[in-house]
Amino acid sequence: MTLITRRNALKMGLAGGALLAGSSLAMAQLRIVVEGANFQPLPIAIPDFASSDPAFGKEIAEIVRNDLRRSGLFLPLDPASLPVQVGDVNATPDFNTWRTANVDALVMGGVERGGQISSSVRVWDTQQASQVVGSSYNTDPNSSRRVAHIIADAIYAALAGSTGYFDTRVIYVAESGPKANRVRRLAIMDQDGANVQYLTDGQSMALTPRFSPNGDLVTYMNFADGNPQVYLLQLSSGKQQRLANVGAMTFAPRFSPDGGTVAFSVEQSGATNIYVTGVGGGQPTQLTSGAAIDTGPSYSPDGSRIAFESDRGGSPQIYIMSSGGGNAQRISFGQGSYSTPVWSPKGDLIAFTRQSGGQFNIGIMAPDGSGERMLYTSFHAEGPTWAPNGRVIMFFQDPGGNDGPKLMSVDIWGRNLLTIPTESYASDPSWSGLRA
């Protein structure tokens, strides 16, 4: 994998990603207003990328179009309908032609594959006749899809008022076989479903994988030892080991924002409490106590607090405590029960699963419990995870019976419900941060 990091590519002046010379960066008026009942996705023209290999240029442009389309914020126009079929990144477009075609946002790109992949892209505001962004990127030759995702992220960042989330991966549980004896193993893929790899062989059941912030370490629940136990798996080496030796059963792990600590549940004699321990080992520290079930810990992005679920009051509800333990405050008060709290990477929202009236809901609320909104309701849905920009939630939905679960996503405005394509049944998604 390339050593030219994505962040560098976005910032660097030379090797990785360079701002293209040309018209100065105007404060473009071209902006997607993401809130509001009258929301309309922004039409955007993306001709095929210029390339000495036209098929490659077409392939890269199509990945960019697909990312932007799937965000729900953009409406890429049919490339066959455009006045220009292949982009030219080195020339100023004929703005009149594009305005006449009712195109406000225009992307011109080029890509070449040699010792590495080099791609340049400019985003134009045709009404202002100005360049919104112009950048070039180099990556290693095996990362052609990543180049396209990085470009899509740059376009999203320029026009949608937030960083993007396309150059990311999702780790999940791939499920196969009859429900009563289903095989569950870990799999990883790009956020759009491409490049699937299976990480465990299914001999022992694997559940609830979660990414570390650096994206190389994964923590999950492994049944190899009989009772499930929390494991750490390093993606780059394939090495794995048990996290801690405490209690009868350990499960429900999640990393701290600095990646140095894992919070998880420990069961002993029917009581389940939350512990933390360093990823390097050491003695686990107990954060909650009592006979209740305390599980599903999730850190706030500043690391100071932990949201978790507990049935200490009767039914499962969401509580927030200090990350050192203590001072737990209940924040969920609607009908039914609440589970799987997951703190947004932005810190402003907590996603959860709510069971009420025989239905499951995926919802969000502020960390003080206010502003609760349901984003998706069905017979069964659970396990939310956040895109790194805090705008999209992936979860899994299960129709029940002998059918199996599938991954879906929805944005925080309750729009753009998508099914994520997977080869098998799929559950427990965990979304990575933007890749380094």
Partner 1 sequence: MVITAPINTALRAVAMLFFVVVVAACSRTPDAMPTGVGNLGPGGGAPGSQQEFLVSVGDRVFFTTDSSSLTTEATATLDKQAAWLNQYQNYRIMIEGHADERGTREYNIALGARRASVVVNYLVSKGVNGQRITSQSFGKERPVAICNDISCWSQNRRAVTVVQ
Q: Which residues bind partner 1 (CB under 8 A)?
A: 179-182, 184, 203-205, 207-208, 221, 223-228, 248-249, 251-252, 265, 267, 269-272, 293, 295-296, 309, 311, 315-316, 339-340, 353, 355, 379-380, 382-383, 398, 400-402, 427-428
Quick one: how many helices (H) and strands (E) in the chain?
4, 30
Q: Which residue's CB is nearer to partner 1, number 198 or number 379?
A: 379
Which one, 226 or 280, has the nearer CB to partner 1? Answer: 226
Q: At what angle do helices 54-71 and 144-159 cross, to 10 degrees?
A: 50
Which of 36/401 has CB closer to partner 1? 401
Q: State the nearest-atom distance from the C-beta of 205 to partner 1, in Å.
A: 6
The helix (H) or strand (E) run that includes residue 180 is: none
101 vs 293, which CB is nearer to partner 1? 293
In the complex, minimum distance from the CB of residue 223 to partner 1, in angstroms, rounded to a whole number: 7
Nearest approach in angstroms of CB 413 to partner 1 is: 24
Task: Give the nearest distance from C-beta 237 to partner 1 in angstroms.
Answer: 22
- State the pairing for strand pair 42-45/74-76: parallel
Pairing status of strand 117-125 against strand 105-113: antiparallel
Burial class (CB in 10 A: 0-12, 13-18, 19+), 416: middle
Of 228 and 257, which CB lies nearer to partner 1 in the complex structure? 228
Contact present, 241 and 303 (Cβ < 8 Å): no
Residue 43 CB, shortest distance to partner 1, in Å, is 40
**Which of 244-252's residues contact partners 24+ apart within 8 Å by CB, and which partners?**
244/275, 244/277, 244/281, 244/284, 246/275, 246/277, 246/284, 250/275, 251/207, 251/208, 251/221, 251/295, 252/208, 252/221, 252/295, 252/296, 252/297
- Measured from the CB atom, the residue of 210 and 435 that comes closer to partner 1 is 210
**DSSP state at residue 50:** B
Beta-bridge mates of residue 207: 221
Considering beta carbons, is residue 72 or 297 the nearer one to partner 1? Answer: 297
CB of 126 to partner 1, least distance (A): 49
CB 268 within 8 A of CB 230: no
Least Cα distance to 3 among 107, 83, 116, 101 occurs for 116
Question: Minimum Å distance from CB 414 to partner 1?
Answer: 21
